[in-house]
Homo-oligomer: A and B are copies of this chain.
């Protein structure tokens, strides 16, 4: 599990440029908030937890270069930079959570010198990264029991090592179960339009020796009918108070098919994905992406010029379709309204 998805150095955040995978494995260094905004927008770094870690790192690096003499001035710069980075993608709540945490760390230390504050920010970003790594391991241990020996596991998009700093969310239980010697088959939806399943999930699972089969999104329901799938695990980009979960477009379709075949559907996420300020999934903003992601693949045009498209980046799976949520602090079962509040603890 040595995929260096995000690393935070003193003067740069180093990421794998995931737009080039699986054809090319290239590490790039991000030195400014503008570069990080572009990297998140263009999905060079993607996956809700990884975006949070990368943005926190970019904030620390950006402020690390600030010539501001006082912590007050620096705090202003940090707030502005955080607000700017928050506009890169609207759906994943981990991004806002990580930026808020960086702001809170700065506010707590507003009496320190600017030099001290810079160090504190860097260490806060690294703490977020370290916690994300630990989260993946814990989440994997909590979820591994859900995967029976000899079963078929379907996943959608990429919620693996490439979506986090560590083990991933949806793929964490798969990695832990595999590591413990269980053998089973993973089916990876290719995940149009941007093919994160084909490009990233198939790549990282294959790299670890996990038995993975790539399918087109529209084959999943048929494989369920044919008895090839025993459970579904996906990641999540935001979870509302009632247990509804936003995740990559296509997740809802998979959840409906799983329900029709009495197959359990799980969403796996770190606690920073939970957003109790939203009563239900209806309130989760859904990012709409450009037409070219639908009409072209890797630069090659696949549709007639001028055709209309729509391209929601995410959809919301209603809580009734979710058998359990898998988190770094264990499994959460219905009733979600009550159990998610209990999970979050006192405000």
Give me the interface of A with B, judged by CB distance under 8 Å: 22-23, 189-193, 195, 198-199, 202-203, 206, 211-223, 225, 249-250, 252-254, 256-257, 259-260, 294-295, 297-312, 315
Interface of A is mostly: mixed
Given contacts A191-B218, A213-B309, A214-B309, 6 further A-B contacts (CB under 8 A): A190-B303, A216-B250, A219-B249, A221-B253, A297-B298, A298-B300
Residues of B within 8 A of A302 (CB): 190, 195, 198-199, 297-298
Copies in the complex: 2
Nearest 7 A-B pairs (CB), nearest first? A218-B250, A221-B253, A192-B216, A222-B315, A217-B218, A22-B304, A198-B303
Residues of B within 8 A of A260 (CB): 256, 259-260
Smallest CB gap from A157: residue in B: B218
Q: Report the bound CA distance from A18 to B193 in whole Å.
A: 22
Residues of B within 8 A of A215 (CB): 294, 309-311
A214 and B308 within 8 A (CB) = yes
B250 and A295 within 8 A (CB) = no
For residue A303, give the distance in angstroms from its CB to the closest CB of chain B: 4
Q: Report the bound CA distance from A97 to B285 in whole Å.
A: 52
Q: A190-B192, A206-B304, A307-B212 are in contact. Are A250 and B219 (CB under 8 A)?
A: yes
Q: Report the bound CA distance from A217 to B253 in whole Å.
A: 9
Residues of B within 8 A of A299 (CB): 300
Q: A202-B303, A308-B212 are in contact. Are A252 and B222 (CB under 8 A)?
A: yes
B303 and A253 within 8 A (CB) = no
Q: Which of B202, B212, B297, B305 contacts A297 (CB 8 A)?
A: B297
Q: Report the bound CA distance from A190 to B295 in whole Å.
A: 9
Residues of B within 8 A of A303 (CB): 22, 190, 195, 198-199, 202-203, 214
Q: Report the bound CA distance from A217 to B193 in whole Å.
A: 9
Q: Report the bound CA distance from A294 to B298 in whole Å.
A: 14
B256 and A312 within 8 A (CB) = no
Residues of B within 8 A of A216 (CB): 192-193, 217, 249-250, 294, 311
